[in-house]
Amino acid sequence: MPEPTRPLHLSVALDRPGTYAAEPYVEAARLAERGRFDFVTLGDSFGPPRRGRGRLDALAVLARVAPATERIGLVPTVTTTHTEPFHVSSALATLDWASRGRAGWTVEVSTDDREAAVFGRREAPDAWAAWREAEAVADVVARLWDSWEDDAEIRDVASGRFVDRDKLHHVDFEGPGFSVRGPSIVPRPPQGRPVVAVDATAPAAQATAARHADVAYVRVGNPDDPRAAHAVRAARGDLRQRARAHGRDPGGHGGRLVVLASLPVALHAAADAVALADLVDRWYTDGVADGFHFRPQDPDRDLALLVDGTVPVLQHRGLLRGFYPGSTLREHLCLARPANRYATVRETTVRETA
């Protein structure tokens, strides 16, 4: 089986409302891992249950999944509107430690009045205000991940020092309606920064995606609509252009932005799985997207057909790798481990004063 030079990125949503035990999530993640998906996602919100079916905290579920899997990336949704940025940063860094470098974060906002009412602290903001705040939260969370340099822990017995405190940094961040002093309580996680993902379908989310996301999803309602591929291609082009405006190199190693077409899937037979592989092949070969995020209609049926039907076809055609070449989510996504912004500051200062 030939190995592709430019990897196709595949991910799948594990959402299964009304499931509260760990096992179905663990089994699904293992199955996706067998299919060599880059990562699984799990959505979350503070909204009410739908049709009597509730959901668990997404980050909790994927933390439970982490020790039961080895390679697959784990990307929960964590919202920014009613949560504490400091806690969000700590929990995601901890997921990265518990998964040994496989954590990601889908940034999401809460704009519903019902979400605001369960906190009772503020009115629900509109989407634009919520995403402006989310952008600031994504910024401070990344700063908190950087607030420990990688080699801050020294355990120097002679001087009695556990850490070199010059390598821990206050972040002193002022955001809209919040401020954070830092440093993080959690040492810098294995990936430096867990992978940040944003659903960039809504216009209000696009600035955050262009600035802070490593992965952007572009939602497609109906993949069979002949205009769908064009819409995704246009959205990808727009996001990459906006990323460049922020000084990023969206196709390169520094500042890379992976744009995934997020498709609903409902696979009823092997033929459907092959048809999906054809679509993936076509879109990917045409440069429509860097990969795909599948949203199964039926979590059991569709994932099984994706892994046993769609994936083998793509591997056979040399589009999809048959193994994980790396061990962290960043490695799966060809994202460089980010340099620590505070380490750079110090080196520059030293150079200037030298």
Q: State the minimum distance, in angstroms, from the CB of residue 350 to another protein.
A: 19
Q: Take residue 324 and report the two structure tokens written for it.
A: 């994980």
d(CA 254, CA 338): 8
Structure tokens at 31: 């199955």
Cis, bond preceding 203 (omega within 30 deg of 0): no
Binding residues for another protein restricted to 141-200, rule: CB under 8 A? 148, 153, 155, 157, 159-165, 168, 177-187
Nearer CB in complex with another protein: 98/274 = 98
Strand partners, 219: 262
The DSSP call for residue 148 is: B
> How far is it, in rounded angstroms, from Cα 8 to Cα 113?
39
Report the SS3 class of residue 95.
helix
How far apart are alpha carbons 350 and 166 in whole angstroms? 13
x/- letters, 105..144, toward another protein (CB under 8 A): ---------x--xxxxx-----------------------
Q: Interface with another protein includes 311 (CB under 8 A)? A: no
* Smallest separation, CB 310 to another protein (Å): 28
Binding status of residue 68 toward another protein by CB under 8 A: yes
Of the candidates 179, 3, 190, the one whose C-alpha atom is nearest the C-alpha of residue 85 is 179
Residue 20 near another protein by CB under 8 A? yes
> Interface with another protein by CB under 8 A: which range of 32-40, 54-62, 196-204, 346-354?
54-62
Q: How far apart are CA 84 and CA 178, in angstroms?
A: 9
C-alpha 103: how far from chain center: 8
How near is the Cβ of 26 to another protein at its closest, in Å? Answer: 8
The one among 90, 202, 274, 308 contacting another protein by CB under 8 A: 90
For the bound state, the minimum distance from the C-beta of residue 351 to another protein, rounded and expressed in Å, comes to: 24
Residues that bind another protein (CB under 8 A): 18, 20-22, 26, 46-49, 52, 54-57, 59-61, 63-68, 82-87, 90-91, 93-95, 97-100, 114, 117-121, 148, 153, 155, 157, 159-165, 168, 177-187
